Amino acid sequence: MKILIVGAGLFGAVCAHELAKLGHDITVIEKRDHIAGNIYTKDIEGIQVHEYGAHIFHTVNPKIWDYIQQFAAFNRYTNEVVANYNGELYNLPFNMNTLYQMWGVTTPEQAQAKIAEQRKVLAGKEPRNLEEQAISLVGTDIYTKLIKDYTTKQWGQTPKDLPSFIIRRLPVRFTFDNNYFNDPYQGIPIGGYTQIVEKMLDSPKITVQLNTNFFDAKETYLQNFDHVIFTGMIDQFFNYRFGELAYRSLRFETEIKDVANYQGNAVINYTDAKTPYTRIIEHKWFEFGQGNQKQTVITREYPQAWQRGVEPYYPINNSENNHLFTQYRDHAKKAAPNVTFGGRLGLYRYYNMDQVIAAALQFLDHSPLTGHQD
């Protein structure tokens, strides 16, 4: 079959790779001037720069870990984030180090007692939003210094109006363990992420066209291909007929600094309200400082409002938007039976990389394109 894949990000690349192996003719179109979507990394002076923010691969799923290893060797990087709140430094995620730094407590029992005391402001209610969920998990002091302002900057709205699942992405643990993730598999591909997508797309059955926007010739593409896998915005695909889904955008400001070591860690979060960015990443520490020994590359991440024409980095998965998404999804089944919507934007989900790969493989496993019927 002739298959068009819109978007050379991870979802599109996994589909292209697997479908090309089965002999389909694949055309991948990508509106940006490079492949790899948001996992794109670029070599600057031997340092792999994560052009769209810090990307750490982590998963609970050994099958996905095996799958990704086909395309790169991974180092043993473990994400250990530091938070800077008006010059006070705390370890993240919330663990015994953080709790000691915040309150001077030295045992899990003392820490749990302190949180239980502060949780009383909720008067035993079930948490209904991010603020209540955060206070219930870690108490009011940590909420105030490490969560409230960061979250407000990140999402452009009060944590009272945000879904609680967002804060449950972060572990809370009563051990002295600064690992940002609970997953048993974690690392950074040695030499960056772009090679992964390059290898996925490296087949005589795959043609890649950069600087090519699907919407410049939507009807022609739909006519000329037997099937389309679309990893852009589902609401845009249907010309926003039921209204816009909400997204959050970002602006990245990258600088080369004439120092060997700028901040001593890959990721430092700025959790106060005054600092306009949420985090600074110093890319060389993802690969233990290799590359340029005299300079370093840093990126500041500024959250910004989304509007049409701006990159939609995060779906805002509150119940209203999720409901609107199901309207689009149901409509898609009837109005576009030869189009599969996939990835963070096509499925409107706050997916990590491993979940995107799992979703792509799951789709392929149940698709007539691979000889399966669902």
The residues binding ligand UDP (CB under 6 A) are 83, 92, 146-147, 150-151, 154, 166-167, 169-170, 269, 271
Residue type at position 144 = T
The β-bridge relationship of strands 25-29 and 247-257 is unpaired
Q: How far is the CB of 147 from ligand UDP (least distance, A)?
A: 4
With respect to ligand FAD, which residue has the nearer C-beta, 90 or 193?
193
User: Cβ(299)–Cβ(254) under 8 Å?
Assistant: yes
Question: Which of ligand UDP, ligand FAD, none sits in contact with 118, Cβ below 5 to 8 A by type?
Answer: none
Long-range Cβ contacts of 11-14 (<8 Å, 24+ apart): 11/229, 11/231, 11/342, 11/343, 11/344, 11/346, 11/356, 11/359, 11/360, 12/37, 12/229, 12/231, 12/342, 12/343, 13/196, 13/197, 13/200, 13/201, 14/200, 14/356, 14/357, 14/360, 14/361, 14/364
Q: Is residue 218 a contact point for ligand FAD (CB under 6 A)?
A: no
**Distances in whole angstroms, Cα of residue 49 to Cα of each of 54, 142, 211:** 9, 31, 21
Q: How far is the CB of 5 from ligand FAD (least distance, A)?
A: 9
Question: Which of ligand FAD, ligand UDP, none sits in contact with 38, Cβ below 5 to 8 A by type?
Answer: ligand FAD
Identified binder of ligand FAD from the candidate list 3, 4, 5, 10, rule CB under 6 A = 10
Find the distance separating the first CA and the last CA of the chain, reported in whole Å: 19
Question: Which of ligand FAD, ligand UDP, none sits in contact with 146, Cβ below 5 to 8 A by type?
Answer: ligand UDP
- Contact flags string 37-56 toward ligand FAD, x per CB under 6 A: xxx------------xxxxx
> 280 has which bridge partners?
268, 300
Q: How far apart are CA 55 and CA 38, in angstroms?
A: 9
Q: How far apart are CA 167 and CA 177, in angstroms?
A: 18
With respect to ligand UDP, which residue has the nearer C-beta, 15 or 246?
246
301-360 binders of ligand FAD (CB under 6 A)? 313, 343-345, 351-354, 356
Which token pair is 16? 């292209």
Site of tokens 């509007």: 307
Identified binder of ligand FAD from the candidate list 3, 12, 118, 358, rule CB under 6 A = 12
- Contact flags string 122-151 toward ligand FAD, x per CB under 6 A: ------------------------------
Q: How far is the CB of 315 from ligand FAD (least distance, A)?
A: 10
User: How many residues at the interface with ligand FAD, by CB under 6 A?
Assistant: 35
Which token pair is 179? 């690992």
With respect to ligand UDP, which residue has the nearer C-beta, 214 or 270?
270
Q: How far apart are CA 62 and CA 216, in angstroms?
A: 40
Q: Is residue 227 a contact point for ligand FAD (CB under 6 A)?
A: no
Identified binder of ligand FAD from the candidate list 65, 90, 185, 214, rule CB under 6 A = 214
Question: Which of ligand UDP, ligand FAD, none sits in contact with 163, Cβ below 5 to 8 A by type?
Answer: none
Which token pair is 290? 């290799």
The residue ranges that bind ligand FAD (CB under 6 A) are 6-12, 29-32, 37-39, 52-57, 213-215, 231-232, 250, 313, 343-345, 351-354, 356
